[in-house]
Structure 1
Amino acid sequence: MKLLSAAIFLYSIAILSSWTVLGSSDFNVLDYGAIGNGKTDDSKAFLKAWNDVCGATEESPTLHVPDGKTYLLNPLKFQGPCKSKQVIFYLGGTLMAPTKDEWISDGKGQWIQFFDIEGLNLQGGGRFDGQGSLWWKDCDHKHCKRPTALFFHNCNGLQMKGMKHINSAKNHISINMCHDVIFSHLHISAPEDSPNTDGIDISESTNIFIEDSFMATGDDCIAINNGSSNININGITCGPGHGISIGSLGKDGEYNVVENVHVSNCLLRSTQNGIRIKTWEGGYGYAKNITFEKITMKNAKNPIIIDQYYSSYAYSRKMKGMDIKVSDVTYREVNGTSANEDAITFNCSQARCSNIILDNVNIKMTNPGEKAKAVCQNADGKVLSAVPPVSCLSKSH
């Protein structure tokens, strides 16, 4: 695991050192008819500019969105592949989604999509505004289909730095089937009571590095889902929200896997959960080789939790050993305060969580007059040092 983390870290430093300010060929959306008054639909102008950017043969062509303006964009897709090895999307102004009442009813599940683009580099101090308030108000979050704001599919070598993202109707950023990705210095926010407004969702992706970012949402700050591996998260401030989660895995009886995850140097404040692994009954697969270290939590409701009964599948598999297997999970230098007395929870299935290691873990109650405790079932591993004590795991001497 240490070798993996070092490799990802060195890879990230190499990529971050290559941030480009603007490409040699600049395509300004204003030259393609964009107005930027926040009222006129600028979608066609953006797509025209994108077609020229994507078709350019010069090195690092740039789609340039000037600052000082607000660009109203209806749902649109930036489609690759492009001719240049690196394409820059420079956002200086604000991109604004239509409100729910103005949304085009054509079944789109995303607001802005990027598909099949190698070397996509999003940069600048601009902002994405999902205008999600009417969606949150008018929809039952369990049954209402709402759009994800930014969706990246098959965008290898993706980089995104220094942008703000507010008030998505659903997930702020989702990546799917992307490899060698770096997100850095992002600011993502939505009200605490906004449903399902995850910060960053990852699925079927590898070699993902997320660093030095702030996330305050109504759901997971970061969610690591099926098919993801070699995920490195460092320097995240999270809260409010539901914390940093692996899963949920195994929904609807599916086979799901996640492995090689390293979360470090993070601060979680007043989150519903801290660092969490969540799986469904009836699913099968595994989550393994996971390390949480140098994590500080302040007033988290469930600071450390593995929940293998997150939800049930109605036609649950009854085959023995066909659960999600959780193994090789290390908590090192994890400290802070808990809003609930159950500061550490290992609620594992009959397949058992194995090789759970607690090393220098210290979580106390937010209220000094109360005492934190640990609860667990079906868990194996060892404790090097932990407060509160975790009696179900063996002590190392």
Structure 2
Amino acid sequence: MFILRCHLNVILAGMLAVPVSGFSAAILPEASPDLSEPVLPAHICAKLAPRQDYSAGDDSQRLQSAINHCPRGEALQLLAGHFSSGPLTMKSGVTLWISHGAILAANTDPRVYDKNGRCGTLDDKGNGCRPFIVFKNTEGGGIVGEGTIDGQGGERMQGENESWWQLARRAQREGAAQNVPRLIEIDDGSNMTFHGITLRNSPGFHVTLKNVRNATFWGVRIDTPANARNTDGIDPVSSQNILIAHSFIRTGDDNVAIKAGAAGPTRHVLLVDNHFYWGHGMSIGSETVGGVSDIRVRDLTLDGTTSGLRIKSDLSRGGIVSDIRYENVCMRGNRRPLDFDTRYDAHAIGNNIPVYRDISLTHISGETGQLVLRGYDAAHSLHFALNGVHFSHAARWLIEAAQIRIGPDGVSPVPAGEASLQPAVVPVDCATHWIPFPVTDAPSVK
């Protein structure tokens, strides 16, 4: 098991035990330096070299066989070169180690992912494909290494005249749902580690966690074009004790989206020192019916995301979102740097009114754009604390049904109707925070 887990458990235990005021002031700053980077597995069950003739067949059978025969607590290592595979099922306690220079490419044939005859087509459900890599009811293990997993979402599907991403755009035009595979799906897992890996070009979401306990993403790179529809980066759903640290994400939808469906709440999520580029931002929602709480986002850059810090839900999927802390965030090039909206779908029907409360923004800096704080109504208003929040004078507030408390470090521009006795707000010094996306030197799949 990786070294990081013991440190993370201590921190998350503190998140459970310490009141909000004590946590945000004392626990997080003191605990964050104690986070230790995961180490590579000490035991390797097998090392696989790529086939000499990459164009002949794929590696599905030998990869799955090697995973199945790998003992718990050990790793299967892929050496530098090209591997191609259809769907893979991970074994409990087994780590997939993709070495520097190794590329694991997803098969582009919809038939190998098919669940019900619908993969690679449009319908009204969009759940007709198996994921490329699935962890189901697993404990331990994960994916590590400096190599790349390529979903080939922009490549033409085998036997078809369009790519996975083109299928998704056609679904948007026709008001349908696309049946495409996700890159990695974790269902009912625990104690998972993803370290150093590059994920790119997923046909759908890159990583989805459902009912997961204790998962770490450290130094992960997600790299997919901005116009690749519905390609979320990392989505914890009805999960607990999740750490995302020192990672770089640019994609065609939410960079991170924390959700909670009918399966239960999502809570105790910590994001530290991450960098987001194009994408839809640091999101909570839109599914919040199960409740989202105890979320900490610290030392984040949002460089060109459409939305910046975002909570989105509506009547069809709303729930309580509470105890959310954003601290030391730098933003630029965002249309909606702050986007907290309870009417994500204005036409939604239902009785699940979204409620956002006990949310604080401390030392947040951005440029221009719309700053949205929109509660549902007076009986379900937003509750926000703003302290040291600075945007340019060209930024404009859109505030409805919101209760705002301004801290001693002030807010600029001051929301209409809110008094501020503070002098000009001192913005966060973001100059040294901007980092170019660290493009991998791995060759193309082609």
Looking at secondary structure, tell me which structure has more strand per residue.
1
CA-CA distance at 1:101 after TM superposition: 6.0
In the alignment, which residue of structure 2 is the partner of 1:148?
182
In the alignment, which residue of structure 1 is the partner of 2:381?
353
Matched, 1:332 2:350: no
1:16 is paired with a residue whose SS is coil
2:61 to 36, 44, 61: 44
| Residue correspondence of structure 1 range 128-167 to structure 2 within 5 A | 128-133=149-154, 134-139=163-168, 140-142=170-172, 143-167=177-201
In the alignment, which residue of structure 2 is the partner of 1:368?
none
The letter of the residue matching 2:96 is F
Whether the 8 Å contact between 1:29 and 1:45 is mirrored in structure 2 is no
1:158 is paired with a residue whose SS is strand
In the alignment, which residue of structure 2 is the partner of 1:83?
none
CA-CA distance at 1:236 after TM superposition: 1.4
CA-CA distance at 1:109 after TM superposition: 3.4
- Alignment CA distance shift 1:8-1:47 (3 Å): farther
TM-score after normalising by structure 1:
0.85
- Please, which moves more after superposition, 1-10 or 189-198? 1-10
| Residue correspondence of structure 1 range 4-15 to structure 2 within 5 A | 4=23
- Alignment CA distance shift 1:126-1:158 (3 Å): same
Matched, 1:291 2:325: yes
- Alignment CA distance shift 1:26-1:11 (3 Å): farther
Give distance in 2, aligned partners of 1:282 and 1:178: 24
- Alignment CA distance shift 1:89-1:38 (3 Å): farther
- Alignment CA distance shift 1:396-1:288 (3 Å): farther
In the alignment, which residue of structure 2 is the partner of 1:228?
266
Matched, 1:271 2:283: no
Matched, 1:202 2:236: yes
Deviation readout 1:8-67 (Å, 9 max, x if unpaired): 7888877735x343333422245xx966826522111111111111xx26xx32211112
- Alignment CA distance shift 1:183-1:302 (3 Å): same
CA-CA distance at 1:326 after TM superposition: 0.6
Give distance in 1, aligned partners of 2:36 and 2:143: 12
TM-score after normalising by structure 2:
0.76
Whether the 8 Å contact between 2:238 and 2:290 is mirrored in structure 1 is no
2:76 to 63, 68, 83: 63
- Please, which moves more after superposition, 42-51 or 385-394? 385-394
Give distance in 2, aligned partners of 1:185 and 1:36: 32
The letter of the residue matching 1:364 is S
Deviation readout 1:348-375 (Å, 9 max, x if unpaired): 101433431110000116xxxxx22211
Matched, 1:16 2:36: yes
Give distance in 2, aligned partners of 1:111 and 1:304: 34
- Please, which moves more after superposition, 203-212 or 120-129? 120-129
C-alpha RMSD over aligned residues? 2.5
- Alignment CA distance shift 1:349-1:392 (3 Å): farther
- Please, which moves more after superposition, 133-142 or 304-313? 133-142
- Please, which moves more after superposition, 227-236 or 117-126? 117-126
Give distance in 2, aligned partners of 1:4 and 1:206: 17
Deviation readout 1:236-286 (Å, 9 max, x if unpaired): 111111010000035xxxx33100111111111111100000011244420
In the alignment, which residue of structure 2 is the partner of 1:389?
414
CA-CA distance at 1:347 after TM superposition: 1.2
CA-CA distance at 1:182 after TM superposition: 1.0
1:148 is paired with a residue whose SS is coil
- Alignment CA distance shift 1:8-1:205 (3 Å): farther
2:65 is paired with a residue whose SS is helix
Give distance in 2, aligned partners of 1:383 and 1:7: 23
Whether the 8 Å contact between 2:274 and 2:300 is mirrored in structure 1 is yes
Number of residue pairs matched by the alignment: 368
Give distance in 1, aligned partners of 2:59 and 2:35: 32
Give distance in 1, aligned partners of 2:33 and 2:78: 27
Matched, 1:239 2:277: yes
